[in-house]
Each structure stands twice: as C-alpha cells, then as structure tokens.
Structure 1
Amino acid sequence: MAVAWRPTLPLILIFALIVYEEWVSIPTCKIVPSAGDLGQPATESQDDLEDLKVMMVANLLLLGSEAGFVNIYFRDYYMSKFFRKSLEILKPDMLLVLGDVSAKGSELTRTNWVSVLHQFHGLLGPFLGLPYHVILGDRDIGQCSGLNVNSVNWVASNFPGLDSAGCGAFEISNTSFVSLNSVALLCGNNNLRFGVEKVVERESVDLQMEADGTTESMKDSGEFWETDHNFLWKESTISSGSGPVLLLHFPLHRTADGNCSGVNPSKRSLKLSRESSNPLDGRGLVGRGPYNISLTLPSNVSEYIFQALKPRIVFSAHTPGFCDHLHPDGTREVTVPAMTWNAGDNPGFVVATFHRNRRPETVSYCSLAGESQIVIAYISFMVLFVSAMLLAKPPIVRCSRR
C-alpha cells in the first residue's frame, strides 16, 4: 500500500513548489502611525472612491545587459512576481519610483541604458497600464563631479513627467505632487541646480497665489529673503503641511539624534551622519558599487524646501531600510526602502493612501520575502525531490538460478 503512492511524490513536491512561489510573492503590509502618534494604535479606514492609493518603490538597481544568470532568472523573476502580486492584492491607483532605477546608470552608454529601460518595463509589467512617475537618483545620473546636463536631459526624457532638469509636478485625484532632482541640489552652482531652484520657486509662487487668491507677482512685492547659498523665496505665512506631496531621492536633513521610527520604533533603519564638504565622496558599499546610505540633503537646502513648498508630506529614498521621521515643524517624512535583493535581504515598499478633504495620509510599510529565505526553501525542495525520486524508483528484482 505504501509503495503505491511513492511515484506521485515528485508531482506532489512540484505542486507544492508552485504553491510556495505564489504564497511567498505576497507582500506583508502593516499600517505605520506617524512618528508623532506612535503611542496610538494604527487604524485603517474604509477606502473611499475619492481616495488615492499610491505604491512607492525605490532603489531597483537594475543592471540591464550586464545582468547575469542569477539576476535574470532568479532575482528579476521574483521581483516581477512581487510587482504582479502587489498590484493584484493592493490595487493601487498609481506607482512612484523614487530613484536609482539603475545600479550604475551614470556609467552606461545610451545603448546600455536602453537595456536597463527594457528591464525596468519588464519588471513593471501590469503597472504600465497605471499612471506612474519616476524620479532620478545618484546612481542614475552620477556624482557632482561628473554630472552632465545632456546626459541628465536624455535620461529624464525616457520617464514620463520629468523636465530637462529631472523635476516634475502633477496633480491626480485632487492631490498635488512635486518631484525634485535632489542630486542636483547637492552640487554647486550649475545649470541643473538652477533648473531645480526655478521649479521650487515656481511652485512656491503658485502655492502663495492659491493661498492669497491673487495673481500678484511675488518678485514685485519685495518680500523675498535669502540664505547663505543665495536661495530666494518669500517669507510665507502659509502653514506647514499646506503644500504639495514632495518626492525626493535623498532624504531631507535631520539631526544625528533625530527620531527615526518605523515598524519597530526601537530600531533606526536610517543611519545618519554629519554633513561633509563634498557629500558624494567617500561612499560605502551596498549592492553593486559605492553607496552612501547616510547621505541627506544639507540643512540649508532642507530649510529652503520647507519654507518654499510647505510640503504636505515628504517621501524620500536612497537607503535600504524604511524610516518614518517627524521634522520639527511637524512635517512627516517617510523614507521608502529598497525593493531589491541587491541592497540587502529585506526588500520592501510603501503604500500611501491620500484621503479626500486633506485628512492625514495612511502609510503602510510592506515587506517582501528575503533572498536567503527563498534560497533555503529551494535547497530544501531539491533535497526532498531527489529523495522522492529515489523512493519512487521501482525496486530491482533479481532472479536466482537453480
């Protein structure tokens, strides 16, 4: 009786592997209360037809034509399943990618960049039917010393909604978004940085005129003041949080002892360091190539952005881990983790729901299966499959001569 079902063992294991692959691709999501409300339980309100649900990912670190066998047939395979399952289960209205699409895009020729774009579109799959927006990271366009205006313009032209400086502004479901090329904001006086400043000033003017209900030119009012880095804006009476949703690659400045809370508030997922004179030099190693995960925008740049845009909430990236930070003026900044195994064993992403009537956003942190977990499962399945094949093999019957 026991021998009868042995031949079916390999088939049972193959079926179990298929079921496991589907199950392990499902993200685990948890609502994260604001850093200012960690003592209060997180609650999820019933979705409203006018709510906007946005999935945010970062640091895909794609290799394009340089991707090896493991990346193409294992990592990309699972990442595409993660995207597909997330779309099926979470049903987002939009996708945001907060920089570092490529692992080393600043070093690539345009032909090689095209292969990265093909890989990117292959991973997104069904998301291509939704509105999506991509901002640029330092891996995509390079460090200050090698920042090339023409290259940045070309990379930006391949993603929807970006201008020649790598910035964007759009509105969807009555929610306004502004994305800035934060890499250029780290560099000195150059055309890219001036282009980003123009976007900030334009959005600041629009915000002030909307609040005042006037079309008066701010430059004619003489109500501008400046910082030590020649940033200009009107000293606004608009309250914090009245502006657009701000999208950045680099996090805004925060003090070294600033609170960085997340799913586990006792652990800091974002390491911080003091500013240096050349912030893009001396970078550590994460994934493929140099990567300084402690880098934030300088304090004067951050203050400029706060004063000019009064962001409703800030979403940033660049770090492998998730972070939820509350700035002194009450602005919430959520740092989106890396969604790749090239940056660590704990990929994840963020889902933010923007409610009507400007109610506080609902932010969920979603974690994905670690690479080591899946590799161990495959090894276990392989051992069991070989054992099952040996058990299923019919016994050899030897005939004896008389």
Structure 2
Amino acid sequence: MVGVTWRSLMPVIIISTFIIYEDWVSFPSCKLLPNTASSPDKYVGSEDVSPQDLKVMMVANLHLLGSQAGFVNLYFRDYYMSKFFKKSFQSLNPDMLLVLGDVSAKGLELSRTKWLSVLHQFDSLLGPFLDIPLHVILGDKDVGECNGLRASSVNWIARNFPGLDSSGCGAFEISNVSFVSLNAVALLCGDNKLRFDVEKVIERESVDLQMEIEGIDEEKDDFGMLRELSNDYRWRVNAMKSGSGPVLLLHFPLYRSGKTHLREGSTFKSIIDTSGNVRASAESKGFSKTDPYDLSQTVPANATEYIFHALKPRIIFSAHTHEFSVYTHPDGTREVTIPAMAWEVRDDPGFIVATFQRNKSTVSVTYCAVARESHILIAYTSALVLFAFFILVSNTLESKGLS
C-alpha cells in the first residue's frame, strides 16, 4: 500500500517541483550598481528611492521573427520571454519601457505584412507593459544597413511605434525628465538623406534646449535664422554645461576611442568585480577618425562630437553590442550599453532599470539578468529523465509483484 501511494504521488511531486522552479526562474535577478550615476561621486542606495522617482526599464535586441518563427521560438522562447516581461513588471513596477532597437531579427528583409506579424508578436510579449508609456528606437536589424536604408521604409516602420518622426527620431518628457532618441543607423551612412534629417533633429533639439535655458524672449528674433542654418549642419555656440541636456537614447553606442572596431556580438564587456564596481573595458582619450560602417559599429567620431556639442546629454543609453557596459566619455558623461534580451543572441540575456531621482541629476542603474536558456533546458531534461526513471522503477517493481 505504501508503495502504491509513493508511485501515485511521485508524478505529482515531479510536476509540482518543475512548476515551482519555472515560476522561480522567471523572476529577474537584479543588482543595483554603484558608481553608475550621472554624477560619478554619487551613489544611490535603496534608502534614497522615492515614489516620485522615474523608474525606466530598458531592453534591447529582442530579435523577433513574427510569422517566420519556428516551433521552438513560438512555444518555448516566446513563452518564456512573455513570462520574463510579466514577472519583471510584477517585481520592478517600472513607470516606462524603452526598447533600444532590433525589435526584429530580419526586419530589413520583411514585407509589410510580415512586419505586422512581428509587431503583433511584440505586443503579445509585452503583456502588462502595454499599459504604461512605451518608446521604441530603430536598430539596424529593423531598418537595414546603409546600402539598404530607405527613407520610405524607415517612415513606415516609425509610424508603427509611438513618438517617432519620419526619420526615426523622437523627443518626449515624462516626470520632468527629457529624452531624445536618435536614429543612430542613419548617422553611420555618409550622404544618405536620412542622416541629414537626423542632423536637423539634433540641431532643432539643441536650439529648443538653449531657448529653454536662456529664455524664449531672448531667442525669439533669431529663431527663424537658426532654423534656416540647421540645414547646413554648422556648429553653433552652445552655452549649456556638460550633462545639462536630455537623456540620449541610441541603438549604436557613441564613438569610444581605443575601441573603434566594436562589432555586434563582440566581447566588449564591463567587469563587475566583487566589490560591485563597474569597470569599462575601453579608455577615453579623445576623438579620432573611425572606419566605415562595415568595420566600425559605433556612431562616427565627428557625429559623436557634434552630438555632445549640440545636446550636452545628461546620460546616454545605447545597445547593439549585446553586452552590458558602463563607459565614461571625455567630458564625464556616462554611457550605459544595454545587453541583449533574446536567447537567440546570447545564453545570458538581461536588461537594465534606470531610476531618475526627482529634482536631482542622479541616475542610478540596476542590472537585471534573466534565466539562461541552457539552465531551462537542463531543468526540462532533468525532469524528463527523472520521470522516465520513475516509470522504469515502477514497472520493474510491478513486474516483480512488489507494491
């Protein structure tokens, strides 16, 4: 009788254990990183967090396939990705979601009908995040590289995401924090028309920021002249201080001297030591000439310097490399590069949460890791092996007439 009871309970125990494990691994493992505030001498501890702070979850490189997704993607990876988003929302309660490019794995190759299937897949994954502010930046997987970059395609894709203009750029403010997102793909593309459109956006935002600081009345007479000059991509005097501008959002990282060849999926990586410090793997020594698009996967040096001159960004968030890093530019501005979120890209995906303190310049960064695909597969395999072993033992005992 005891044997019969044990055999009847064992499948329930195995299944229950696996369900508990699956629910546990769906929650992200997060760690607040010291020395990642926009002011390097400040550290934001949990005691400093206020309900009025703006908490923004940032993900990148989802690499969705839409209708082209196979069985494994639809019923395994997408299932867990949806759980990751749901559990992250429950545990972190962010105020906003930012997606820093490469929503699609093959967007540049897709027809509009297939692109719509990617958008439907994207919406189904987000779940509760659809109820909070969302901003999406375009990546090279979404719109293509320079030889295939078309203004009409970018315009169509941009219309499907909130807050983007026809060039794939955006500007918005939430909880007194200003954000500017740029189509960084176009900035790598020489004489492409979209690059000039993005430069106009940079110039327009620079003028608006300076008017906001210096006073609208003082600039009103010169406004038309400045708008006209913006077509020439000329540098103008900017009295703003470094770090006084908006939060800058890009898919490609800005140029980093000493790390010109920053390939997608490269080993460019920050090291988080036992003390919790973040050490960037590249040194900052100023600007120099970069290589063409196919060699250098960062915004060119001249465009990078122009962005710093025009926008004076408070802090920068980028993606594309698939690796997490924190880098300090020559003027002291921090750039945080967000890791890939998709298992197709790397076995240890992750994301970050940036907390903007109300009425302060401090920005704290929390790095969150989600479960490895290999660990989930090991759990599945172990459960199947254990279940098969139980069936084998049960059948053996039954054949011997034991109970």
| TM range, smaller chain | 0.7 to 0.9
Aligned to 2:264: none
Shift in alpha-carbon separation, 1:155–1:225, aligned structure 2, 3 A: closer
2:348 partner SS: coil
Aligned to 2:127: 125
Aligned to 1:51: 53
Provide the rounded CA distance (Å) in 2 between the counterparts of 1:193 and 1:374: 43
- The one-letter code of the counterpart of 1:240 is S
Query: C-alpha root-mean-square deviation of aligned residues, in Å?
Result: 2.8
1:85 partner SS: helix
- The one-letter code of the counterpart of 2:368 is C
Give the Å deviation of 1:261: 3.8
1:342 partner SS: coil
Aligned to 2:302: 300
Give the Å deviation of 1:375: 0.8
Shift in alpha-carbon separation, 1:257–1:69, aligned structure 2, 3 A: closer
Provide the rounded CA distance (Å) in 1 between the counterparts of 2:40 and 2:347: 26
- Tell whether the 8 Å contact from 1:94 to 1:132 is kept in structure 2 after alignment: yes
Aligned to 1:139: 141
2:306 partner SS: helix
Give matches, 1:218-237, under 5 Å. Answer: 231-237=233-239
Give matches, 1:212-291, under 5 Å. Answer: 212-215=214-217, 216=219, 231-256=233-258, 261-264=270-273, 277-279=291-293, 281=294
Structure having the higher helix fraction is 2
Aligned to 2:34: 33
Aligned to 2:362: 360
Give matches, 1:361-400, under 5 Å. Answer: 361-393=363-395, 395-396=398-399
- Tell whether the 8 Å contact from 2:57 to 2:97 is kept in structure 1 after alignment: yes
CA deviation map 1:317-365 (0-9, x unaligned): 0011100111110101100100001111110000001111123111001
Aligned to 1:198: 200
1:325 partner SS: strand
Q: How many residues align?
A: 383
Is 41-50 or 294-303 further displaced after alignment?
41-50
Provide the rounded CA distance (Å) in 2 between the counterparts of 1:342 and 1:38: 34
Give the Å deviation of 1:266: 7.9
Q: Which 5+ residue runs of structure 2 have no aligned equivalent? A: 261-267
Provide the rounded CA distance (Å) in 2 between the counterparts of 1:193 and 1:346: 34
Shift in alpha-carbon separation, 1:167–1:308, aligned structure 2, 3 A: same
Give the Å deviation of 1:38: 8.2
- The one-letter code of the counterpart of 1:14 is I
Give the Å deviation of 1:307: 0.6
Shift in alpha-carbon separation, 1:71–1:106, aligned structure 2, 3 A: same
Give the Å deviation of 1:271: 12
Give the Å deviation of 1:47: 3.0
Provide the rounded CA distance (Å) in 2 between the counterparts of 1:17 and 1:302: 49
- Tell whether the 8 Å contact from 2:158 to 2:164 is kept in structure 1 after alignment: yes
CA deviation map 1:77-129 (0-9, x unaligned): 11111000000000000000000000110111001101111111111111101
Give the Å deviation of 1:206: 1.1
- Tell whether the 8 Å contact from 1:316 to 1:335 is kept in structure 2 after alignment: yes
- The one-letter code of the counterpart of 1:386 is A
Is 241-250 or 40-49 further displaced after alignment?
40-49
- Tell whether the 8 Å contact from 1:34 to 1:332 is kept in structure 2 after alignment: no
Aligned to 1:90: 92
TM (norm. structure 1) is: 0.88
- The one-letter code of the counterpart of 1:278 is P
- Tell whether the 8 Å contact from 2:328 to 2:335 is kept in structure 1 after alignment: yes
Give matches, 1:80-119, under 5 Å. Answer: 80-119=82-121
TM (norm. structure 2) is: 0.88
- Tell whether the 8 Å contact from 1:29 to 1:367 is kept in structure 2 after alignment: yes
- Tell whether the 8 Å contact from 1:351 to 1:363 is kept in structure 2 after alignment: yes
Q: Which 5+ residue runs of structure 1 have no aligned equivalent? A: 283-293
Shift in alpha-carbon separation, 1:203–1:42, aligned structure 2, 3 A: closer
Give the Å deviation of 1:39: 9.5
Give the Å deviation of 1:193: 1.4
Give the Å deviation of 1:257: 6.1
Provide the rounded CA distance (Å) in 2 between the counterparts of 1:139 and 1:271: 28
Give the Å deviation of 1:270: 8.2
Give the Å deviation of 1:35: 5.6
The answer to whether residue 178 in structure 2 is matched with residue 176 in structure 1 is yes
2:30 partner SS: strand
